[in-house]
Amino acid sequence: MAKRVGIEVSQAIAEAVKMANVDVVAAYPITPQTHIVEHLAQLVADGELDAAYIPVESEHSAMSACLGASAVGARTFTATAGQGLELMHEVLYVASSMRLPVVMTVANRALSAPLSVWCDHSDAMAIRDTGWIQIFAENGQEVIDEVLCAFRIAEDQRVLLPVIVYLDGFLLSHMIEPIYMPEQDEVDKFIPPYQHLLPLNPDKPVTMGAFAPPFIYSETKKAQEVNLTAAKEVILQCWDEFGNIFQRHYSPVDCYRAEDATVLLLTMGSFGETATVAIDKMRNECRNVGLVNLRLWRPFPFAEIRQAVSKAEVLIILDRALSFGGPAGPVCSEIKAALYNEDKKPKVISFVGGLGGRDITPDGFEQIINRGIEISQTGSKQEYEMYGVRE
């Protein structure tokens, strides 16, 4: 029986990685993810986790070490945040292109300059097209569950792709929450031993992924895209099985009081739980509003998004990242593209807020919804509006 314990989410992530029987951890400390790998280092040093811990000199080196470890068949984990994720950027493409099932948690952090250690989603949006499976978590319990699912999904022989689980920096990473920690025997049944199909062998050296001339490169990228898209079915199967075992159920898109709502707010990450307070208040005032929280970022859940918003008249999207010089926030742009060919679709209103750790309260979400409704009726001179910016 799972025990509910009060624990910092970062430390709980490390405990989940330990329960997954990881073989190699390669990481470099950066706020706000440091507590994750710090606790993993302690678990290894204390003999509680039988794994190789590689303290590297940078995040670029961390991901490079993860590539080598995964390529020889080791279950591999790392964690990073913000600027560290961007220092990894070029290596992230190699992990996905080489079909290496590395699992990584990213404690979302705003990008410099100016320097910020606080949360927004600019780091995630900067690496959205690197070919990784990408999942956003809403609370601490979900982070732990998705980390366990990530190993199961990544190492499935129908997938063999790296997975990122995003958690909002500080808002989740440093919070102490009541979390159900599963029993080891349950995790062992859920995550089978990892068997790499083609592990590298120093006794039989080969060169892989070194060079592709133009006549083959396009085909390799097409194959990669087909595989990432097909991974969605495995992700759904994993979440179904996880729900059957642990009685916590996940889907690509979560809806809250949205079935009959004419106005919907769409969020990602921990802001979703705060927004529900505003939704409840407005519902009690007989306002027909609801919430959609997007969990699966890649592969993008086209069908689920279209279904979730099919009955709405207005869809208000809150991005936590700017697309500089673009027509809207990056999430809004993708939602608009997903709905473009739909015969019946809501008016889509774009907001950007919560940058660099700026808080949005339930009252703030109510203001965003009210302003979104106003824009849907009267229009706006701007392609999108930033919430909470002082003039």
Q: Does 57 lie in the same domain as 170? A: yes
Q: Does 343 lie in the same domain as 274? A: yes
Q: Does 38 lie in the same domain as 171? A: yes
Task: Report the candidate in 139, 135, 129, 72 with the shortest Cα–Cα distance to residue 103.
Answer: 135
Q: pTM, whole model, 2 decimals?
A: 0.98
Per-residue pLDDT of the chain (391 residues; tens, 9 = 90+): 688 999 999 999 999 999 999 999 999 999 999 999 999 999 999 999 999 999 999 999 999 999 999 999 999 999 999 999 999 999 999 999 999 999 999 999 999 999 999 999 999 999 999 999 999 999 999 999 999 999 999 999 999 999 999 999 999 999 999 999 999 999 999 999 998 888 999 899 988 888 899 999 999 999 999 999 999 999 999 999 999 999 999 999 999 999 999 999 999 999 999 999 999 999 999 999 999 999 999 999 999 999 999 999 999 999 999 999 999 999 999 999 999 999 999 999 999 999 999 999 999 999 999 999 999 999 999 999 999 999 8
Q: Does 170 lie in the same domain as 34? A: yes
- CATH code of the domain containing 287: 3.40.50.920
Q: Pairing relation of β-strands 296-298 and 133-136?
A: antiparallel
Tokens 């599963």 appear where? Answer: 182
Q: Does 165 lie in the same domain as 20? A: yes
223 Cβ contact list (under 8 Å, min separation 6): none
Q: Does 241 lie in the same domain as 257? A: no
Q: Does 292 lie in the same domain as 241? A: no
| Residue 318 tokens, joined | 């809150």
Q: Does 240 lie in the same domain as 259? A: no
Quick one: pLDDT at residue 391?
80
Quick one: pLDDT at residue 1?
67
**What is the domain count for the chain?**
2
Q: Does 306 lie in the same domain as 228? A: no
Q: Assess contact for 33 and 105: CB atoms under 8 A.
A: yes
Q: Assess contact for 119 and 111: CB atoms under 8 A.
A: no
- CATH code of the domain containing 90: 3.40.50.970
Tokens 């507590």 appear where? Answer: 35
Q: Does 223 lie in the same domain as 293? A: no
11 in a structural domain: yes
Give me the domain span that covers residue 357.
253-386
Alpha helices, H only, the chain? 9-19, 34-45, 59-71, 82-87, 89-97, 122-126, 140-155, 184-190, 214-246, 271-284, 302-308, 330-339, 362-378
Quick one: pLDDT at residue 249?
98
391 in a structural domain: no
Q: Which of the listed residues 246, 269, 284 is the one where a domain comes to its end?
A: 246
